[in-house]
């Protein structure tokens, strides 16, 4: 990854922040993007202290012009783009019959349209570099998760977009990879929107038992080097995809049962 130019969205925390450090340690030049400019500047300052090449760009990926500016500033700074990691994400929790439509729109705007916008503006440079487009997804992009209609829908949409892009650019040597980390210890569940659009403020799961974001970042790095199509990082995730193919009705019941065990589950 030495001297590769990598853009990482949602880089102020969690998987995005972990990717920033993993790739910079391997010698990459990094553009970090997120809405929280203060946290971005802290990461940028820390990396520069260690003589890493990094650019911080405040970006709301749900705004097309922000994504365009992110790409332009990266080209102005580094002159090329080798890897785009679409990591910025927003979750939600609540029954579809209770959730406000605005919640679903916000989740879709970040998770799906954010990926589309950034990829659209970066695409000419990525094709020129025969580079990589990465979508950080979830098992929720393979199996609908009850209580998370907006989140699952956005990940299914991301999959459809990236898989179509892969076929369209088949003869241009663009690498397209979908990554499903499984439940990872990040801030995403605390920031998840409730039915009324307000952050739920606490995680419904035991974060200490989840995959650390650094492990996810290392897996992403290996996947890029090997130009993998899909990476499903947990046994639970791999089993879900298998059951979806062979016994989908059983998987629906199993998914319902597992998700109903969450504290304060919206369904039983």
Q: Is the separation of the CB atoms in 200 and 194 below 8 Å? A: yes
Buried/exposed 223-235: b ≥16 CB within 10 Å, e otherwise: bbeeebebbbbbe
Annotated catalytic residue: which of 117, 121, 125, 151? 151
Is residue 117 part of the annotated active site? The answer reads no
Distance between CA atoms of 163 and 167, rounded to whole angstroms? 7
Q: Is the separation of the CB atoms in 137 and 220 below 8 Å? A: no
- The CA dihedral of 266, 263, 108, 88, to the nearest 10 degrees, is 180
Strands of 69-186 (E only): list them.
Answer: 83-86, 132-136, 175-180
Nearby residues of 235 by Cβ (< 8 Å), 6 or more positions away? none
Catalytic residues: 151
């Amino acid at each position: 990854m030495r001297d590769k130019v990598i853009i990482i969205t949602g880089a102020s925390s969690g998987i995005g922040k972990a990717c920033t450090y993993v790739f910079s340690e391997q010698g990459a030049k990094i553009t970090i993007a997120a809405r929280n400019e203060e946290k971005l500047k802290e990461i940028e300052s820390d990396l520069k202290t260690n003589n890493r090449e990094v650019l911080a760009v405040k970006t709301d990926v749900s705004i097309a012009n922000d994504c365009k500016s992110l790409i332009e500033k990266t080209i102005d700074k580094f002159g090329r783009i080798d890897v785009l990691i679409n990591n910025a994400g927003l979750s939600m929790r609540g029954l579809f019959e209770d959730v406000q439509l605005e919640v679903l729109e916000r989740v879709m705007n970040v998770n799906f349209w954010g990926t589309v916008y950034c990829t659209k503006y970066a695409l000419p440079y990525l094709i020129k570099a025969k580079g990589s487009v990465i979508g950080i997804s979830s098992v929720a992009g393979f199996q609908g998760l009850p209580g998370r209609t907006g989140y699952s829908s956005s990940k299914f949409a991301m999959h459809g977009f990236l898989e179509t892009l892969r076929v369209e650019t088949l003869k241009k040597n663009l690498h397209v990879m979908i990554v499903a980390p499984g439940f990872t210890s990040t801030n995403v569940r605390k920031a998840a929107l409730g039915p009324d659009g307000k952050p739920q403020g606490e995680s419904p799961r035991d974060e200490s038992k989840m995959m650390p974001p650094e492990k996810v970042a290392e897996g992403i790095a290996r996947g890029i080097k090997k130009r993998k199509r899909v990476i499903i990082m947990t046994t639970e995730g791999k089993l879900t995809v298998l059951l979806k193919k062979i016994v989908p009705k059983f998987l629906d019941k199993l998914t319902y049962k597992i998700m109903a065990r969450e504290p304060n589950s919206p369904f039983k």
